[in-house]
Homo-oligomer: A and B are copies of this chain.
């Protein structure tokens, strides 16, 4: 099996140089906190609950790049597929805390949960209050405790950012995001694994005519494997699953995020979008916002996920608030 090649200087320098690249393109909008793998807005905001996001790297632009207007105050980047350490997380939180506490938003993975937990304990001792809103949007898994955090993170972070901007206390912010995320559900599939740059080896093998259903974001496998279906059948399966998961009804309005895991082609995403629209139209479900792009990736994994966010007037305002992060540009949807 041939190796996967990537263009880098050394695997151990990837995270560092990615952060430097982001700073370099931002025209001063974001900076690193010392030598730490922490990106933050260069101008410290005051009088608001701070939003810190993060997790393992390798999923860029999420979480690392999503620092800026309408998104996080700081992000903390672990090594590739490895949670950041407590001291790194604490550095990020200290850098942006304004005295009103810090909301952490990150994915529901053992490593992230434990590292952010220890960081929260350290920060609590210093008098910095932290709260966590876990991203756990994976519709492929029924048990809420086991749900992974996948591409819906983009929406959850955006909603959290709005709450941090507009609500007064950490408790209110947390309550808003926790309520909002009940309306969020994501389902992913992949036909080819990504690989760790250190090894150049795909994280799983898969047959020439197979697809992994209910895919996670680290190359850890999905919930089942099946023969590669037609795009329309696959789209119908995913769309139906999400509609059922959120119990969507005719007249409901949703936002849809169609995320490219890495090497899906634009045409594949359009083919999926086409069929999804047909199904939703039939059911009277209105797509009032649509985001498409490689926002939450897993190296060169080939696949995609659909995230549905059921909207209400509050969530609509929050989701549609202006957002701009240097590494991605406007995040305005269609």
On A, residues with C-beta under 8 Å from B are 1-9, 14-15, 17-22, 24-27, 57-58, 60-61, 65, 189, 191-192, 208-209, 211, 228, 230-232, 234, 262-274, 277, 290, 292-294, 297, 299-300, 302, 304, 326-327, 329-330, 332-334
Contact = CB atoms under 8 A, between A and B. Distances in A.
Contacts of A234: 7
Given A7-B231, A326-B334, A266 B27 contact: no
Contacts of A57: 267
Nearest to A6: B268
A330 B330 contact: yes
A270 B22 contact: yes
B9 A230 contact: yes
Tell which of A3, A18, A230 has the most Cβ of chain B within 10 Å: A18
A255 to B, nearest CB: 12
B327 A292 contact: yes
Nearest to A5: B191
Given A7-B234, A191-B7, A265-B262, A21 B329 contact: no
A292 B329 CA distance: 9
Contacts of A2: 1, 208
Contact of A7 (B8, B15, B60, B264): B264
A82 to B, nearest CB: 14
Contacts of A20: 270, 274
Contact of A270 (B17, B230, B292, B329): B17
